[in-house]
Structure 1
Amino acid sequence: MSEFPAQRGTPGWLLPGALVLRLMLVTALALALSGALATWLVTQALEREAVRQLVGQQTDEVEVVARLLASKIEQSQKLLRTVAEGITPGMLKSPSALEWLLQQGLPAAQFFDTMQVAHASGQVRLSLRAGHLEQAADLDPAERDALRRTLVGGKPLVCELIAGGRPNEARVMFTMPLHHTNGSVLGVVAGALRLQSQSLLPPSMAWPTRDNSEFIVFTRDGTILSHSDPRRILGQVRDEAGLAPVYARWLAQAQPVVGRGITDVQPDYIASMAGMPLPQWIVARVSRTQALLAPLRDAQHQAWWLAIAGMALCLLLALAAMGWMAQPLAQLTHRSRHWLQTGTGLQPLADMDWPRVDMVWSRAGDEVGELLRAFQGLAQQGRRQQMRKDLLDGQLQAVLDKSSAGIVISRHGLLDKVSRQACLMLGYAAHDELQGRPVSSLYASDADYAQVADLVRTEMVAHGAFDGDICLRRKNGSPLWVRVQGQGVRPDELRGGMVWILENISAARQAQVQQSRDRRHDALTQLPNRAAFDERLGLLLAQRAAEGAVQGAKGNPPPDDGVVLFLDLDHFTEVNDIAGHDAGDDVLRHVARLLGTQVRQIGWVARLGGDEFAVVLPGCALARGQAVAEQLRAAVQAWEHSYQGRRFTLGVSIGLVALDASLQDVASVLYAADMACHEAKRAGRNRVQTRAVTASGRMTLRPA
């Protein structure tokens, strides 16, 4: 371990690596989810318990009120029975006696708002309303019906409701049969109580109060007898929100009215009902769920905030603890990254300046200590392998430098080794300037490198080696043509590296290019010669024929194919005869430059031989070609040649032919242009003569 020098300056606290950060994230998510789930479960349980308690409380309330009202009904019946016991058979025959008895003789009769006494025959003997006599004809039909049913059945009755014109006139009627000693029905006595009276359902009755809640008493048919809102009295339960669906289900099930309370929990309401069997009344309480649970919801919100604060605190503590426990691993990661970047190895455990607790953990044999010892072993192996590699590299470079051939070894697209001869060939002073650079830097562009790379890859796959000519770029940017022979370091693996042997063929390549140029260009004027003219015009004719066929298939008119000019200098032999061939050569060179300058943007010029030239104007219309030909003729005529004190004026005869479908090959085009030029000569020279093809295929001449 002493081989690894100590490295100082390591930060005391390091950010944990990606793995620990992911674990911390998972821990944070798990803690947050578990806390949120636990809080949600607790709040839901609290809400259910609160609803259960509200349901129990509300059910008890309606049962108590139902029993209270039932006791009032029973008390009223007992008072009426007391009145009935005080009426003798003889009194039924004496209305005055009945009147005295009910007004003064029996205090219990004062309890009722109205009193009626009827004989077994159905005749009403006495009718009192508020202590005053009234006519039997003024009785309500419902009251008569109650009296009749009691006489027929012989049993006491409690009528559900006798409605008047207004809510304060609604009343409940109690009947009690009068019996002979033998048990037969002698008559009937009836007493009625106003619904809103103190004896039954007074407006001031103290219902169990609660905000956002209504207490309702209604009959079996749904008529409201008492309501927290007085305006709803004698209304219908079917119009009460929250109670209407419960009442509808109760009617649909045809359940009897019993004293036990039932409660229905709805999303927005809690409705409780309890029955009064004797009058067939139902007591109900309807509460708004949201309003009842509002205090609980506020408490739940506070609980959520407290839970979030607690979870955040626990999360911070957990993350801080994990970050602290992960410091040995972070320190080890920092050292290993530094080792990979610099290759200096990991320092010993004792020199790493870790906190004492971290050193205890590492020495205790945990994962970090095991990794540290493994890295130290790898560092030692890497140092020995690097020493062997440096030795082999030095030996290989010495062998390459002694070689007279240009040798390059590439690996993974980089220059690994370069011989001295290859450096000189590429214009570099030492191999250090090239080693480690991309192979693409030896090419003029990335496109050239990609093209050569595809060619090399194809050859290597097909033949296992590469042999060909490649154009590289020297350090100064000049091109370098080399013949390259390439072979893989490992024949079965191209990525294992390639060995290239370079041979400089720039001189031979330049000579070859020059020879090719000499074969295709006129040596005197540097214009394309007759062979180059024939080849280039032939390609143009073939291209025009193909485009014409495509346009014809589409139904479009054929495009303008262009014109060809045949030029022959007038009186050029006089220059050769008088001034000599050197002057003639100078004239030809000047005319070549003049023609090239005039048509450089729209065509090209060739020397056919002697003083004959040809100008090709691709895609040029006939009228435009004639104008250009006249421009060339005027330019040649305007130039005056002076040689050894003598001046010479030249002219040029030009034959023009338009390229069309009748001219299929170079020979026919050149023959037509030559004939047009001869016609210009015969017509007096220094003019332009156009040769056209008629519809029958015959050629005619027309002046320009």
Structure 2
Amino acid sequence: MTERLPLLQRVVRSFETLKFQVGLAGLLLLLIGMSASVLVLIHKAQSATLSERQHAEVSEAVRTASLLAHRMVQHQRALTALAKDVQPATLHPEELSKFLQTHLRLQTNFSSFFMVDTGGNLLGTVDKTGFRRPEVNVQDRDYFTKALRLGQPQVSAPLISRVSKEPVVILAQPLMEQGRVWAVMGAVLRLQSQNLLEGVAESVGGEDGVLVVVSDAKGLILAHPDSKLVGSSIRLEPRLRNGFEAWQQAGQPLEPAGLHLRDAKELLGAAGVPAQDWMVWRARETRAVLAPLAAAQHQAVIWTLSIAAVLATVLTALIWWLLQPLSQLRQRASHLFDGAIDVNQDWPHSRGEVAQLQQVLQRVARERANFEASNAFILGRLQSVMEAAPIGIAFSRRRRFELVSVAFCKLFGHTAEQLLGQPTRLIYAFEGDFDALSPQVREAFEAGRHYQGDWQMLRADGSTFWGRLSGQPVDPQDHDAGAIWTVSDISEEVSSRLALEWSAKHDNLTGLANRREFMQRLETVYAMRSRAKPAALIAFDLDRFKEINDSQGHAAGDAMLKAVADVAAAAIRAGDLLARLGGDEFAVLLERCHGDGAERVAHDLLQAIQTLSMEWQGQRLSVGASVGVAALSEDMGSAADWLMRADLASYAAKRAGRGTVRNSQTPAEHGRESSEKHQ
């Protein structure tokens, strides 16, 4: 497997070469052109063959119809000549039997003869079985009534014989004397035992895919290779069904000159039989007509593929020879930026477009070499500057370090070898920070500004620090030119800023939120009162706290305030905001809390404060609390009003004897409480 792998790789790579792709494109175009030509020629040949065969079918149908009409005329003439030998005395049974049997042997084209009187009574009939006188009356037959009325020969429509019970066509000849019809003689053509097309059409049995059928104008079959279908509707013949329907839609023309009828699988031709109201139908299978062309098409495909294979071989060899200089040029171009090779050596001898491409590559190689030399000179000078700089300086290109200063390495705890060539994301504490930094840098550089930002950086030992990152592109128009970066440690500055921000929002003694932070949060909740969840406010101040301050000193008072802050924080929910408003006054903001829930929290808070006992210089110190609760309502005019109601409720608890909880009252009652408090 290891021996075959290089060969397999070479084969796979050869498919990606320009030679193979050009050769394949040429082969495909060649195959498409040859295939298209063959298909067009075959299509034209098929169309011409089908058109010629279609005309032939129509012509044959016309010929068959003409011969059939001629035969029927001969039958009528023979019957007319026979009628001249009939005398009224011939109607005597013995004479009639002798007469009919004699002429039946002479007229072999007919199945039988018969004679009827003017009342339609059958006087006698003779066929191959002999003479008979069945009791049959044909007075209602159309051919009989017309022969009596008009005194002219008639040909019946297909009908069922009342003697043989078979489908027949009858030729009726009136017997005249002094302009009067005194009897009617008839000749019978049995359609099932006698084929009307015998001797008329060249094929009547469906040989070679040809079907010939005779029908009347109503579509009743008079002649068919399958005698079982005689007398049936032509719709029962699937090969003629579509043609017959098309003929009906065209108005059922009995056209002796012939008709073309369309069908997807058959070549159909039809022609009317003159004077008979009959139609001759011919159908030839399209598949049988096109069979020779299909074989020729198969042979043409084989020849096309063979010729294409030969031409493809020649084309491939020719392309390989023509593109050989290009392959040599590709091999030389793969070492275009190899500094160990002279830019003017090892180029192939080529002509035409390949030579022009070679000149372009040589110029690129020379310009690249000049650029690298210039770049190396600039980087050398830059390295000197960076070595003397007191802050961390780095040069990066394509998000990798290419130059780093000594101060930069010292700041991050890496050596220069550990940083050069490494991704710049190496120095960031968090992966997400680097992803967020990239668009900010791109936006600043594209706007023509330098970038500056504070980020948490990562040292080699895993520790982090806050660094101020500043960057400037070498060439704003060329992103690949790289950028110069400076990094300084601002951890102390950040710590001071964070501490200052914390002090601005918290009480220095207890660590709780101060009045300013509490009021900002209170204003926010109040502003969203129409959309927010229920909210409530608890205000409390300490009982007996002044006694501790006066008797034990401010240090004891401060310790008690811290202890109260701890137990109060433990008595409320984690998301509630506890604040020291000043002195011994505290407040709690409970978001998503109804008034009943706030009152329960207030009692828990009171109990926690009352059970607090602090040891101080050998004494046990304790305090109480007066707690007020105010649920947020629509009638409150401001956040300050809300806090005032909680404060007044706390005052009411103090007036009630301290150590208790009171709910906020109505605005009027608040007015009275406020007056009393100020008094």
Distance 2:446 2:113 in 1: 124
Q: Residues 211 and 283 of structure 2 are in contact (CA less than 8 Å); yes or no, is this contact kept in structure 1?
A: yes
Match of 2:407 in 1: 421
Match of 1:216 in 2: 213
Q: Determine if the alignment matches structure 1 residue 543 to structure 2 residue 524.
A: yes
Superposed, 1:204-603 pairs within 5 Å as 208-210=204-206, 213-218=210-215, 224-234=221-231, 241-242=241-242, 244-245=244-245, 248=248, 253=253, 255=255, 257=256, 264-273=261-270, 277=274, 280=276, 282=278, 284-287=280-283, 289=285, 292=288, 295=291, 299=295, 328=324, 331=327, 335=331, 338-339=334-335, 363=349, 365=351, 367-368=353-354, 371-372=357-358, 374-409=360-395, 417-430=403-416, 433=419, 437-438=423-424, 441-442=427-428, 444=430, 446=432, 450=436, 454=440, 457=443, 461=447, 465-466=449-450, 470-475=454-459, 476-482=462-468, 484=470, 489-490=474-475, 498-500=483-485, 504-515=489-500, 517=502, 521-523=506-508, 525-528=509-512, 533-549=514-530, 559-568=534-543, 570=545, 573=548, 577=552, 586-599=559-572, 601-603=574-576
Q: Determine if the alignment matches structure 1 residue 693 to structure 2 residue 665.
A: yes
Match of 2:190 in 1: 196
Distance 1:451 1:518 in 2: 30
Residue 468 of structure 2 aligns with an amino acid whose one-letter code is V
Q: In 2 relative to 1, CA 11–247 (structure 1 residues): closer, same or farther, beyond 3 Å?
A: closer
Q: How far 1:50 sits from its partner (Å)?
A: 4.9
Q: How far 1:102 sits from its partner (Å)?
A: 11
Q: How far 1:509 sits from its partner (Å)?
A: 4.5
Residue 403 of structure 1 aligns with an amino acid whose one-letter code is A
- Picking from 636, 640, 650, the partner of 2:622 is 650
Q: Residues 156 and 169 of structure 2 are in contact (CA less than 8 Å); yes or no, is this contact kept in structure 1?
A: no
Distance 1:672 1:625 in 2: 12
Gaps of 5+ in 2: 1-5, 675-679
**In the TM superposition, what whole-angstrom CA distance separates every residue of 1:473-496 from its partner, at most 9, and x where no partner exists?**
242442324385x55545778886
Residue 394 of structure 1 aligns with an amino acid whose one-letter code is G
Q: Secondary structure at the match of 1:195?
A: strand
**In the TM superposition, what whole-angstrom CA distance separates every residue of 1:88-137 from its partner, at most 9, and x where no partner exists?**
xxx9697699998995899768524548799xxx999x9875397989x9
Identity %: 17
Q: In 2 relative to 1, CA 576–290 (structure 1 residues): closer, same or farther, beyond 3 Å?
A: farther
Gaps of 5+ in 1: 1-7, 152-156, 179-183, 352-361, 552-557
* CA RMSD of superposed structures (Å): 5.8
Match of 1:171 in 2: 170
Q: How far 1:538 sits from its partner (Å)?
A: 1.5
TM-score (ref. length: structure 2): 0.70
**In the TM superposition, what whole-angstrom CA distance separates every residue of 1:247-283 from its partner, at most 9, and x where no partner exists?**
547875564x4xx665544334433345665x64756
**In the TM superposition, what whole-angstrom CA distance separates every residue of 1:299-318 from its partner, at most 9, and x where no partner exists?**
58966985897699679858
Residue 230 of structure 1 aligns with an amino acid whose one-letter code is S
Q: Residues 38 and 300 of structure 2 are in contact (CA less than 8 Å); yes or no, is this contact kept in structure 1?
A: yes
Residue 284 of structure 1 aligns with an amino acid whose one-letter code is V
Q: Residues 16 and 326 of structure 1 are in contact (CA less than 8 Å); yes or no, is this contact kept in structure 2?
A: no
Q: How far 1:400 sits from its partner (Å)?
A: 1.7
Residue 244 of structure 1 aligns with an amino acid whose one-letter code is F
Q: How far 1:396 sits from its partner (Å)?
A: 1.4
Residue 50 of structure 2 aligns with an amino acid whose one-letter code is V
Distance 2:438 2:123 in 1: 128
Match of 2:106 in 1: 111
**In the TM superposition, what whole-angstrom CA distance separates every residue of 1:495-528 from its partner, at most 9, and x where no partner exists?**
86554555554434444544555566555x3524
Q: How far 1:402 sits from its partner (Å)?
A: 1.8
Residue 538 of structure 1 aligns with an amino acid whose one-letter code is M
Q: Secondary structure at the match of 2:574?
A: coil
Q: Secondary structure at the match of 1:424?
A: helix
Q: Residues 565 and 629 of structure 1 are in contact (CA less than 8 Å); yes or no, is this contact kept in structure 2?
A: no
TM-score (ref. length: structure 1): 0.68
Q: Secondary structure at the match of 1:617?
A: strand
Q: How far 1:392 sits from its partner (Å)?
A: 2.2
Q: Residues 603 and 615 of structure 1 are in contact (CA less than 8 Å); yes or no, is this contact kept in structure 2?
A: no
Distance 2:7 2:210 in 1: 74
